[in-house]
Amino acid sequence: MASKTVRSRAPLRLGLAGGGTDVSPYSELYGGNVLNASINMHAYCTITTSEVDEVVFHAADLGETWRSTAASSIPLEGPLVLHKATYNRVVRDFNGGERLPVRVTTHADAPPGSGVGTSSTMVVAILRAYQELLKLPLGEYDLAQLAYDIERRDCGLAGGKQDQYAATFGGFNFMEFFSDDRVIVNPLRIRDEIINEIECSMLLYFTGRSRESANIINDQIHTAESGDGGSLQAMHSVKKSAMEMKEALLKADIRTMAAILHEAWEAKRKMAKSISNPHIDEIYGRAMDAGALSAKISGAGGGGFMMMFVEPTSRLDVMSALSGLQGSFYRFHFTKEGAQGWHV
């Protein structure tokens, strides 16, 4: 039988407000609210059926390859655990437990630990490719929840729910998280001229890869479980900021959006000690001194991408102020499409 090839891509996202309140047990106990938006950076996957009885996983951007004789289940150890876990789920739930000889090749426009949901988005992209290959009857909520189950339950990796839903749905979304894995995604209809103004008023700066996200998330879990007064109140403030940011966004009130981002960053820093560090503080200080209106790390914290609101006429001043540091600015645009798959 001739081999078949499918491809997919899923967008990365910027967390505009509410990040961290989608992490259990906070979302289970108090409900979480998150506002995020997909951008024109993606995770990509190509799957080709193999004519030989083997499975090959290749992460081109990480320089990692794993291969083995095709099996109905692959141990979740060694490299490329997310690739293996996704394969296991697809074989178990949708292929009758029959092994699936395939070559899976992936890459992403941003490294893991950069705060834009790369790992979770990669699972969505891989799943979307399998969906295309096997014609799986999965809706958007099904796909996002399955990606969450694979990463959080099958692999035991700590984290929230927003990334899987952002990658699947795409666009600007206000998300609500409840107990029992209930999620409501509210797509926001934003006029093009508002999106244009936000893009002109934002900078995206890569501070370096974060190696703290798992520790930060564990700190947040401890906060929710222990009821630590100050940190818990900070999480409540972060949740409230998502609702306020949604209103400012819909009204195209950039100044208020910038102010909310500033308040959200101050609250987020109180959620866990490792969210900021001297390197991030220096970037923040230089940007603000050069005229930035506000800035906040996207994602769990400890590194990764920092979003900045600026006056469009002051963009170059802020960029110049950070030119001597070991970081880089990324050009980006907001996108409206979620995960996509197609046959080649």
CA distance 219 to 299: 14
Rounded to the nearest 5°, which phi and psi values hold at 7? -130, 160
**Residue 163 is a catalytic residue:** yes
Q: What is the DSSP letter of 83?
A: H
SS3 (DSSP) at 253: coil
Greatest C-alpha distance within the chain:
64
Q: What b/e string do you get for 23-55 counting C-beta neighbours within 10 Å, with b at 16 or more?
A: bbebbbebebbbbbbbbebbbbbbbbeeeeeeb
SS3 (DSSP) at 294: strand
Name residues whose C-beta falls within 8 Å of residue 230's C-beta, 6 or more positions apart in sequence. Answer: 270
Using alpha carbons only, what angle is made at residue 336 by residues 133 and 140, rounded to the nearest 5 degrees?
45
Candidates 295, 268, 336, 257; CA nearest to 40 is 336
Name residues whose C-beta falls within 8 Å of residue 1's C-beta, 6 or more positions apart in sequence. Answer: 49, 51
Query: Which of these is catalytic: 163, 180, 181, 253?
Result: 163
Helix axes 192-200, 254-269, angle to 10 degrees: 60
Q: Are 300 and 275 in contact (CB under 8 A)?
A: yes
Catalytic sites, residue numbers: 163
